[in-house]
Amino acid sequence: MTTRQLNVVTDGLHYLEAPRWHDGKLWFVDLYTKAVYSLDNDGKVNEVVKIKEQPSGLGWLPNGRMLVVSMKDRKVLRLEANGELVQHADLWDLCEGHANDMVVAPNGNAYVGNFGYDLMGGADHKDTGIVLVKPDGSTQKVAEGLSFPNGMVITPDEKTLIVNELFGNRISKFAINDDGTLGERHDFASFGSLGDEPSVARRMEKAIIKPDGLALDAEGAVWFADTVNQRAVRMAEGGEILETVDVAPELVFAVALGGDDGKTLFMCVAPDWDEANRKSENLGRMISTKVSVGHAGTP
């Protein structure tokens, strides 16, 4: 396990997710302050917009408009130049649970995952899929059979989408077709099938990795948050662990590569993911460390 200097980027928040390096600055959301934030170079945190039904994934259209997932009402919202927040797409009929993370391709196609079931309410695990949102807001389901798809990247050639399966013990990849739809699922890295096990707790016990958040580097490896294992992991295709960064006693829930040289690894950390705890305590932090291989792809 690599020991590196960990720097506090910002703290005093609740539960940070969806870190993105965009337009020379860091962006992220806090699920329980229900806001999108950006961070100035001097470390000042700026509230960009409030999302009433809880924000998650972030991305940007080719015209610079920001898209943000609104989790509980299963929508993708768009922030207009005048500051107005408008509906970009309604995903209600295509998501089986809260809408969640998202990646927006350079051409404006957005890919959105969802919980698949009522995770916080203790429901049994069920597989779900990925929804494609075209730049005009039209939608269609383009993948199924995924275990809590959460954290996605698109390769620099825009031909492959890589996605974590948080409770699936694997990271998957899909070819991106010319029309934006996805081809068949293939393993990017897999550590054994968990079958049809309905208990989330037992799936977590059996899984070798619990991948959350995702970032791609220039050597084709991915960084992800290995949630309850209290580490960020750099992994090659095929499953070889190349590096790890220990964040104990905290848990890490999302990662991003950014900074001026693309070699800063940003990590969203908190003591746990219990909704009541995270709402009541402002112990969510963004930390960072330097890595040797820079960012590639989208986001």
Q: How far apart are CA 237 and CA 240, in angstroms?
A: 7
Q: How far apart are CA 120 and CA 213, in angstroms?
A: 19
Q: What angle do CA 70, 66, 116 make, to 5 degrees?
A: 30
The alpha carbon torsion through 138, 141, 150, 261 (nearest 10 deg) reads: -50
Q: Which residues make beta-bridge pairs with 226?
A: 211, 231
What pLDDT was estimated at residue 119?
78
What pLDDT was estimated at residue 109?
99
Q: How far apart are CA 30 and CA 151, in angstroms?
A: 16
pTM of structure: 0.95
Is the alpha carbon torsion for 213, 216, 217, 222 positive or negative?
A: positive
Q: What is the 3-state secondary structure (H, E, C) of 44-100?
A: CEEEEEECCCCEEEEEECCCCCEEEEECCCCEEEEECCCCCEEEEEECHHHCCCCEE
What pLDDT was estimated at residue 125?
82
Name the nearest CA neighbour of 113 among 61, 169, 153, 158: 153
b/e map 41-78, b = 16+ CB within 10 Å: eeeebeebbebeebbbbbbbbeeebbbbbbbebbbbbb
What pLDDT was estimated at residue 283?
94
Q: How far apart are CA 124 and CA 199, in angstroms?
A: 6
What pLDDT was estimated at residue 1?
52
Q: How far apart are CA 266 and CA 252, in angstroms?
A: 10
What pLDDT was estimated at residue 209?
86
What pLDDT was estimated at residue 3?
64
Dump pLDDT digits (tens) for 159-192.
Answer: 999 999 998 999 999 999 999 999 999 999 998 8
Domain ranges of the chain: 7-290
Q: How far apart are CA 226 and CA 246, in angstroms?
A: 10
Q: What are phi and psi of 275, to 5 degrees?
A: -60, -45
Q: Show the low-confidence residues of the chain (pLDDT under 50).
A: none
Considering only the top CATH level, what class is 7-290?
mainly beta
Dump pLDDT digits (tens) for 104-135.
Answer: 999 999 999 999 877 777 788 888 999 999 99
